[in-house]
Amino acid sequence: MLNENKYKARQKLKGGTKFKLEDFINITKPEISYILGFLWADGHIMQCKPGYYSGISFNITKTDYDELANVFMKYIQWTTYIRDCPNSNKQLVHGCIYDTKISKFLKELDYDKKSYISPQKILDHIPEYLHYMFWRGYFDGDGCIHVHVNTKYHNRYQLSISSTYNQDWTQIESLFKSLNITKYKIYRWKRHFGMYSCIELSRVDDILAFCVFIYQNIQTDNIGLYRKYVKYVELLDYKTKKPQKLSKHKGVTKDKNCNSWSVRVWQTGKYKYIGCYASEDIAVKARDDFINNQSSAVAPDLCTISP
């Protein structure tokens, strides 16, 4: 049960629509698919003793909740409380609904096992044309795009989704395959503060492929966290508008955005990206060193090829 002392000095939020199980049995609304994806990431089945209520709950920062409140309250009348986050200036919103029908429904779809299995049952239940919205909700719950800024080299982008140590990533691996994403890594860590795992994309084209899929129709549905969507927009802008300057040295280009020089050479029938360097002279030397150690010749007009 909710610890009232923890929340007694906090505000209780009101609003929402009474839960209708039919909306979740026959899913036709993108908001329902998004909610189910978000709950797969950050939801928690409340299983109580016989005679007590059971239901589902979630925790989210107040700023994110303010952005998603219209989505969350459209089909479920959540009981929501605001509380201060320890050792931080942020506030958290705790949302819960005590309803045995929704609890039973989600348990049948493996929400009580989501820390170690893939969401196959719920994806089979959601119409395929709304799968992108499930993954958008899941990404808003557990995913992020990192931008590693380096004044000497190109910015490096990373998309990751985190979960428990024993998480089964089968379904998202299948999604990546359907999007022609083949370069990804799965990490599992045991640290002094806990155990966890994540699946990670590091190639810009792969990150864009995933984001294009989950953010389809966002201009009309306006569902999701803007702070995560804007990272995709920034990456897309960087990819499509990245100016390059041709060098007199074949295989060397300059990215004006990052003030770095990239090297590409032709090797065994394809272009090979060697790296990026702080100056043109260093890049030329790196290119020459690579060529001297390889039997392949430098292809003409390499400067127009992106890594």
Taking residues 134-155, report their average pLDDT: 81
**Alpha-carbon distance values, 154 to 70, 241, 242 (Å):** 39, 14, 11
How does pLDDT run across 20-79, given as a tens digit for each residue?
888 899 999 999 999 999 999 999 988 766 555 588 999 999 999 999 998 988 888 888
| Predicted local confidence at residue 259, as pLDDT | 61
Domains along the chain with CATH numbers: 4-240 (3.10.28.10), 243-304 (3.30.730)
Q: What is the percent of the chain with per-residue pLDDT over 70, rounded to a whole number?
A: 79
If 0-12 CB within 10 Å is exposed, 13-18 middle and 19+ buried, where does residue 80 land? buried
Is the pLDDT assigned to residue 301 strictly greater than 50?
no
Q: What is the percent of the chain with per-residue pLDDT over 90, rounded to a whole number?
A: 39
Q: CA end-to-end span of the chain, whole Å?
A: 54
For residue 147, give the DSSP letter: E
Is the pLDDT assigned to residue 213 strictly greater than 90?
yes
How does pLDDT run across 226-249, given as a tens digit for each residue?
999 988 888 887 777 654 555 667
Distance CA 163, CA 289 (A): 42
* Residue scoring higher pLDDT (237 or 176): 176
| Predicted local confidence at residue 245, as pLDDT | 53
Would you say 93 and 80 are in contact if contact means Cβ atoms under 8 Å apart? Answer: yes
Is the pLDDT assigned to residue 296 strictly greater than 80?
no
Taking residues 245-260, report their average pLDDT: 65
Q: Mean pLDDT, the chain, as a whole number?
A: 81
- Token pair belonging to 185: 């890594």
Q: Which pLDDT band holds residue 298 (cuts at 50, 70, 90)?
A: very low
Q: Which pLDDT band holds residue 258 (cuts at 50, 70, 90)?
A: low
Taking residues 12-23, report their average pLDDT: 68
Distance CA 266, CA 204 (A): 21
**Alpha-carbon distance values, 183 to 30, 83, 121, 148, 303 (Å):** 29, 41, 26, 19, 24
Is the pLDDT assigned to residue 149 strictly greater than 70?
no
Q: Report which residue type is found at 96.
A: C
Q: Which pLDDT band holds residue 11 (cuts at 50, 70, 90)?
A: low
